Chain A
Amino acid sequence: MNATPNAFGRRRFLTTSLLIAGGAVLTGCAGDPLKKSGDGSTAKITLNQWYHAYGEKGTQEAVKRYALEYTKANPDVAINITWVAGEYETKLNSALLTADAPDVFEIGDFRHQMVKNGQLAPLDDILADTKAEFSKADLDVATVDGKVYGIKMIDDIMMLFYRRSLLEKAGLTPPKTYAELVDAAKKLTTGKMKGLFVGNDGIGDAGFLLGWSAGGDLIDNGKVVFNRPETVAAVGALRQLHDEKVLLLDFTTDWYDPGAISQNATAMQWCGLWAMPDIKKNIGDDFGVVPWPAFGATGRPTARLGGWYELVNAKGKHVEEAKKYLQWLWLKQTDLQQDWCVKYGFHVPPRASVAARTTEFATGPAKDAVAISQQYGKSFPNLWNSAMATAFGDAVTKIAKQKADATDALGQAAAKCQAELDKQLG
């Protein structure tokens, strides 16, 4: 080892670390990312608003434009928009613990627990007479103890997309029962193309859909009910699709992306209305939509109704201002609502009057989608949470892929979910 002090090496090391540390302090002082004011305006109040990153081009610019318009009309209030890509809900949850929590934010699956946590402000007063314009399903999910806590901004219906030409060539009609779906998937599976895509894991929403399509449900009146025999039978039938090897698995993009059906990797795909413009661009009119088919004799078709709710943080510093902004954007500005729903992606406006004047839904598959949404749309109950989803998802995965007994697996999951549910309600 070199015994003479290596002065150059030491000094360089120290100077470099000092420079870097100093630089960090300086940049830290100069540019705290959160302290951006609304474009140098003279606003007294800044509302923080969160969106998850919508995939469609132009969405981020659009919400920024809406916010600027609000500030133009209300110079006292600036809106600071955070566009959150990646896992939205976990990031939102951790942000809600801090002083920099958003004042206004959206959420996909409305959570009863957030109301119980005292995190959401009731919105009945701003909703007032427009309440009648929202569907019962949309209102029910966001209602806890008679008060409404969320305003639906967009309705997203998820349904079964199929390639018209391929079904015709195989002499098939769009499936009306689960047996027909399995049969169609079998006949449409060729060397290069699989019959059906429900998700890279071969599960996706299929567990929920099968349960619903057999007339079952997840939670009913404070009780977990997906372990009832008819639901168990339906969920158990998912194994057929796996055993027949007709599902597209481990594709590059997942079910919510139109990639698989657009690139001829599958003949049928479970996907959302949002993907329709993209599918149209890629394969023209060679597609149609139907709900998830009925299971068995007593079942009925079903479709998952998702979308996003806009909420106000009850623990925020500016609850009243936030509510006013929410009312302005999602209740009063019908032009902006229409712009938001159909100019970038493709969503059904939840308000009847706005939906009525949106011409994009007058014909073709888009029209079918709206009908499916109204007739068959089903949302997760607001008591459903991440722990329950994991328990249920585990059970479905074991049944479909590891040949577990459906009654046992769903029974265990139901016990776990009931414990979760009791904790939430208790």
Chain B
Amino acid sequence: MTLSTPTRWAGAVRASARTGRRPRPRTDRSALGAFAVLTAPMVFGLGLFKYVAIGWSLLLSLGEARGTLDPTRWVGLDNYRFLLADPGFRDSLLTVVLFTLFIVPVTFAASLALAVLVNQVRRGRAFFRTAFLVPAAVSYVAAALVWRMALFNGLPSGIANTLGGLLGLDPVPWIATQHPPLYWIVLITLRLWLQVGLYMVLFLAGLQAIPPQLYEAAAIDGASGWRMFRHITLPMLRNTSVAVLLLMTIAGFQAFDEFYNVFSGGLGGSHTAPVHPPLVYLYDIALGDQNYGLGSAGAFLLTLLIVAVTLLQGRITGLGRKD
């Protein structure tokens, strides 16, 4: 039905365009109509599922709402105060900030490095690109399963322990060990495996748009590979890099799936997980304890943090600056 409307409208618009003698105002009106038709579904959908949701959530966050979505009592900023005073929630914010600070540069470097390498080879380029890209099609659930049950389980038959055994190392419980925190290796390799491919393709597209003459000229000047990378490749990839950094940062702050699926003990829940990123923490508050007011307040605090960080990042990287 959304598809048939433009068809009918198109006919009407065309008809009016033909009969019109004074083209300017009519064109404007038809432009307005066309604009409305094309944007209405998106505006309506976002209005309903984002703006109404956000508004409702804001009300919930200012009230006491346990086991119900109609706040029973207004409590002002109590929920916010409670969360900011809660060491558990503060820990979770700190966790996600550290996680993002670490995962973003690592993902960035890995995907850029792979893109550069893939771009350099002539034979087998499609094969390598595919090999790195296909994991992007795998879900966090499936990947968490493989990581937890096969690659990093604590048995001597686990893949990581088998490889370690070849080097003469003893089997290690990867997820349960916190001193040193080996579980980060599990979480980070998991995210890299899933995400590097798509970002690599973005960089690859950027690399292929760099005019080869630039490199040829630099080569004549006797520039080395590293200098060419620093002075040609990186600057030419600036806009891609800015966009990729933004996407990675937002994705980092939203981490939920791998933490949930790697640490969840099924019926036992995930209360003894070594780290709870904010979304996992809020998920427990809202859907574990039915405390929707507190959960909404937490969602707003997290949003504030994300907005602040992305704005800061935009400032630093000059996002949106035209050049």
Q: CB within 8 Å of B: which residues of A?
A: 14, 17-18, 21, 52, 87-90, 93-94, 96-97, 108, 113-114, 116-119, 199-204, 248-252, 254-256, 265, 385-387, 389-394, 396-397, 401-403, 412, 416, 419, 423
CB distance from B133 to the nearest CB of A (A): 23
Tell me which of B88, B153, B265, B285 contacts A252 (CB under 8 A). Answer: B153
CB distance from B68 to the nearest CB of A (A): 7
- Taking a contact as CB atoms under 8 Å apart, the answer to whether A96 and B272 are in contact is no
CB distance from A188 to the nearest CB of B (A): 17
Residue among A113, A118, A387, A412 with most chain B CB within 10 A: A387
What are the residues of chain A within 8 A of B68 when measuring CB–CB?
Answer: 97, 117
- Taking a contact as CB atoms under 8 Å apart, the answer to whether A254 and B153 are in contact is no
What are the residues of chain B within 8 A of A88 when measuring CB–CB?
Answer: 267
CB distance from A48 to the nearest CB of B (A): 18
- Taking a contact as CB atoms under 8 Å apart, the answer to whether B86 and A416 are in contact is yes
Answer yes or no: B189 CB below 8 A from chain A CBs.
Answer: no
What are the residues of chain B within 8 A of A255 when measuring CB–CB?
Answer: 268
Q: When each residue 133-176 of chain B gets 1 if its CB lies under 8 Å from chain A and 0 otherwise, what string results?
A: 00000000000000001001111001000000000000001111
- Taking a contact as CB atoms under 8 Å apart, the answer to whether A390 and B179 are in contact is no
Answer yes or no: B20 CB below 8 A from chain A CBs.
Answer: no
Answer yes or no: B67 CB below 8 A from chain A CBs.
Answer: yes
- Taking a contact as CB atoms under 8 Å apart, the answer to whether B67 and A199 are in contact is no
Answer yes or no: B105 CB below 8 A from chain A CBs.
Answer: no
- Taking a contact as CB atoms under 8 Å apart, the answer to whether B290 and A391 are in contact is no
What are the residues of chain A within 8 A of B267 when measuring CB–CB?
Answer: 52, 88, 108, 256
- Taking a contact as CB atoms under 8 Å apart, the answer to whether A402 and B179 are in contact is yes
CB distance from B142 to the nearest CB of A (A): 15
CB distance from A256 to the nearest CB of B (A): 6
What are the residues of chain A within 8 A of B263 when measuring CB–CB?
Answer: 201
Q: How many residues of B contact A (CB 8 A)?
A: 44
What are the residues of chain A within 8 A of B179 when measuring CB–CB?
Answer: 401-403
Offer 14 A-B interface pairs, CB within 8 angstroms, sorted by A: A88-B267, A96-B290, A114-B67, A199-B268, A204-B265, A204-B272, A254-B265, A254-B268, A386-B269, A386-B285, A391-B88, A393-B272, A397-B274, A412-B87
Answer yes or no: B276 CB below 8 A from chain A CBs.
Answer: yes
Which chain B residue lies CB-closest to A98?
B69
- Taking a contact as CB atoms under 8 Å apart, the answer to whether A203 and B173 are in contact is no
Answer yes or no: B177 CB below 8 A from chain A CBs.
Answer: yes
Answer yes or no: B289 CB below 8 A from chain A CBs.
Answer: yes
Tell me which of A21, A248, A386, A412 contacts B288 (CB under 8 A). Answer: A386
- Taking a contact as CB atoms under 8 Å apart, the answer to whether B173 and A386 are in contact is no
Contact flag A390-B176 (CB < 8 Å), given A119-B67, A250-B154, A412-B87: no
What are the residues of chain B within 8 A of A96 when measuring CB–CB?
Answer: 67, 290
- Taking a contact as CB atoms under 8 Å apart, the answer to whether A249 and B272 are in contact is no
- Taking a contact as CB atoms under 8 Å apart, the answer to whether A249 and B173 are in contact is yes
What are the residues of chain B within 8 A of A254 when measuring CB–CB?
Answer: 265-266, 268
- Taking a contact as CB atoms under 8 Å apart, the answer to whether B88 and A394 are in contact is yes
CB distance from B143 to the nearest CB of A (A): 16
Q: When each residue 87-122 of chain B gets 1 if its CB lies under 8 Å from chain A and 0 otherwise, what string results?
A: 110010000000000000000000000000000000
Tell me which of B88, B176, B266, B274 contacts A250 (CB under 8 A). Answer: B176
Contact flag A385-B287 (CB < 8 Å), given A117-B66, A250-B152: no
Query: Which 7 A-B pairs rank lowest in CB-CB distance, beginning with the nearest?
Result: A250-B154, A117-B67, A386-B288, A249-B173, A393-B271, A249-B176, A90-B287
Answer yes or no: B3 CB below 8 A from chain A CBs.
Answer: yes
Contact flag A416-B87 (CB < 8 Å), given A201-B272, A203-B272, A254-B268: yes
- Taking a contact as CB atoms under 8 Å apart, the answer to whether B174 and A250 are in contact is yes
- Taking a contact as CB atoms under 8 Å apart, the answer to whether A390 and B67 are in contact is no
- The CA-CA distance from A233 to B106 in the complex, in Å, is 42
Which chain A residue lies CB-closest to B281?
A390
- Taking a contact as CB atoms under 8 Å apart, the answer to whether A113 and B66 are in contact is yes
- Taking a contact as CB atoms under 8 Å apart, the answer to whether A113 and B67 are in contact is yes
- Taking a contact as CB atoms under 8 Å apart, the answer to whether B176 and A201 are in contact is yes
- The CA-CA distance from A113 to B68 in the complex, in Å, is 12
- The CA-CA distance from A256 to B267 in the complex, in Å, is 9
Tell me which of A17, A199, A249, A389 contacts B154 (CB under 8 A). Answer: A249
- The CA-CA distance from A315 to B288 in the complex, in Å, is 19
What are the residues of chain A within 8 A of B88 when measuring CB–CB?
Answer: 387, 390-391, 394, 416
Residue among A21, A52, A265, A401 with most chain B CB within 10 A: A401
Which chain A residue lies CB-closest to B161?
A250
Which chain A residue lies CB-closest to B64?
A423
Contact flag A252-B149 (CB < 8 Å), given A200-B176, A387-B285: yes
- Taking a contact as CB atoms under 8 Å apart, the answer to whether A201 and B265 are in contact is yes
- The CA-CA distance from A248 to B175 in the complex, in Å, is 12
CB distance from B141 to the nearest CB of A (A): 11
What are the residues of chain B within 8 A of A108 when measuring CB–CB?
Answer: 267
Answer yes or no: B82 CB below 8 A from chain A CBs.
Answer: yes
Q: Apart from A201-B263, A250-B174, what 8 extra A-B contacts exist at CB < 8 Å?
A: A17-B3, A93-B67, A116-B66, A200-B265, A250-B152, A251-B154, A394-B272, A394-B276
What are the residues of chain B within 8 A of A416 when measuring CB–CB?
Answer: 86-88
CB distance from A104 to the nearest CB of B (A): 18
Residue among A89, A255, A403 with most chain B CB within 10 A: A89
Contact flag A199-B178 (CB < 8 Å), given A389-B271, A393-B272, A396-B272: no
Contact flag A390-B276 (CB < 8 Å), given A93-B288, A201-B265: yes
- Taking a contact as CB atoms under 8 Å apart, the answer to whether A401 and B284 are in contact is no
CB distance from B85 to the nearest CB of A (A): 8
- The CA-CA distance from A265 to B171 in the complex, in Å, is 14
